[in-house]
Amino acid sequence: MHVQEKEQTVAGQSWKVYTLENDHGMSVSFLNYGGIITNITVPDRNGKLENVVLSLANYEDYLDNPNFFGALVGRVAGRIEGSSFSINDKKHLLPANEGDHHLHGGSTGFHQILWETTSFETDTQVGVHFTHTFPDGDGGYPGELDVSIMYTLTNENNFEITYQATSDQDTILTTTNHSYFNLSGDLKRDILQHDVQINASQFIELDHELIPTGELLSVDDTVFDFRKAHPIIDGVHSIDQQNLVASNGFDHYFIFDHSNQPNVTVTDGESGRKLEVLTDQPGMVMYTANGLDDSIQLKERNSTKYLGVCLETQGSPGSLKHEGFPSIYLGKDETYHKTTTFAFRTLND
């Protein structure tokens, strides 16, 4: 197992490009800019190693990354309605970057930070430790926030992301990674035939601007019932109003039933690849790339609708306006600590 580190000059900045590789040939490459994952190479059922995430063709393209390809997301992943929230009876205004709403931490979020990084190697794992201190008021958020994130690869083909943070004031926080997964390998096909299983009995209803209405809906008798695996394409052909508001697909928060692990399983029958997601987050936004078009140059090909699926494990920003949603409140001097593991397997295992 080893870590490779290279320097790359991008728009006058010195970026670091890291590659973690285990003893079985699995590798994960990423930047210290935005923590952006640019490559995850894993075997198919025949042992063929191919990339299973979407990445832009050129590093420079990540300077403007409105689709958040591969990026760390914070301080708050998801949409904050009306770009404002109140804490301790004080209203905080955030910059609107999607209509009237604040999306994925805004323009100064985690995805556009040049993180301090340190690599590590042991007999059982390799990884990189990211750190950054966000000043009080940065991006409109209260509290000086010390953030520590670790990317770790094991010999079991597990890629683990651990998030830790503390604030010197009461604040809000929920973090995620916005990688688009495509298990076909090197983007040979879209993800419509990927089978998904999610241990979730409820999901959050959205309005036409993808803002939570405040209603928790049962998955029973809908295409949102992934308790038994079924393909993503079912949501594309669905006439359910919730699929229609998401541009014929999914962009919804599922609340996990934590009685079973893994929380999520994605399989591609043709390649034989399987991805299991295990997390202590309360839920996940599954986004099926309904908003992509063919205008973006990716490493292997141009982008298309439904070319990847994001599995954004996180709390719910809807909790800022509605009762009963997974909270994103972080108290002064409390420690935020969350872990998500992406375990890559094959159907042969």
Q: How many CB atoms lie within 10 A of CB 215?
A: 12
At 258 the three-state DSSP class reads coil
Please report, as a single letter, which amino acid is at residue 203. Answer: F
Alpha-carbon distance of 328 to 79, in angstroms, equals 12
Please report, as a single letter, which amino acid is at residue 258. Answer: H
Catalytic annotation on 276? no
Alpha-carbon distance of 4 to 176, in angstroms, equals 24
At 25 the three-state DSSP class reads coil
Catalytic annotation on 178? yes
Alpha-carbon distance of 217 to 223, in angstroms, equals 12
Give the DSSP per-residue string, 193-204.
T-EEEE-EEEEE
Q: Which residues, in sequence order, are CB contacts of 152 under 8 Å at separation 6+?
A: 20, 125, 126, 127, 159, 160, 161, 162
CA-CA-CA-CA dihedral for 86, 89, 90, 95, to nearest 10: 10
The pair phi, psi for residue 63, each rounded to 5°, is -60, -30
- Pairing label, strands 200-206, 145-154: unpaired
The pair phi, psi for residue 13, each rounded to 5°, is -100, 150
Q: Tokens standing for 252? A: 């919804």
The candidate with the shortest Cα–Cα distance to 278, out of 218, 232, 339, is 339
The pair phi, psi for residue 25, each rounded to 5°, is 90, -10
One of 111, 178, 194, 252 is an active-site residue; which one? 178
The residues annotated with a catalytic role in the active site are 178, 312
